[in-house]
Amino acid sequence: MEGNVLVLGDHIDTDVIIPARYLTQSDEAFLAKYCFADLHPDFSEKVKPGDILVAGVNFGCGSSREHAPLAIKAAGVSCVIASSFARIFYRNSFNIGLPILESPEAAAAVRSGDRLSVDFEAGEIRNLTRNETYHAEPIPKFMLELVEAGGLVNYIREKKLGKDREGTAAR
């Protein structure tokens, strides 16, 4: 995965990611339009498909709404890299198919506008702009399967359909 970077700060909470006043619906296009509406009012107009968010500590703190990672993913962001994530945001991200990596090293070094190449399986983040490499814990195989399926619901559907097909074929 490769994309351009937008750097955010520390303690970006879910109300900053998607303000509560926009939680009246869960339509992805609607949520994408208001992603970071108060912090970066023009975010939805400037973000390009594949862009990467890089943040500091405690990204996604606050309430446990799935709307936050969903808004980020729907806006076109390909992944989020941070020094650390709030645990519920971490889980919700994989549940909706948004890959995230913890890398204090990358969070400290990367600047807005840099271009990154990310290898989730190896946990390697290459800064193509600065010719630097940073490390993160690789994403476990099961979590990558969730991302590849587009989230937990799709993963379960695929597994169930596969089992249904196997059962039908065996009869």
pLDDT in tens, 11-67: 999 999 999 999 988 899 999 999 999 999 999 999 999 999 999 999 999 988 899
* Dist CA 67 CA 107 (whole Å): 24
pLDDT in tens, 153-167: 999 998 877 766 565
Res 165: pLDDT: 59
Q: How many C-beta neighbours within 10 Å does residue 69 have?
A: 28
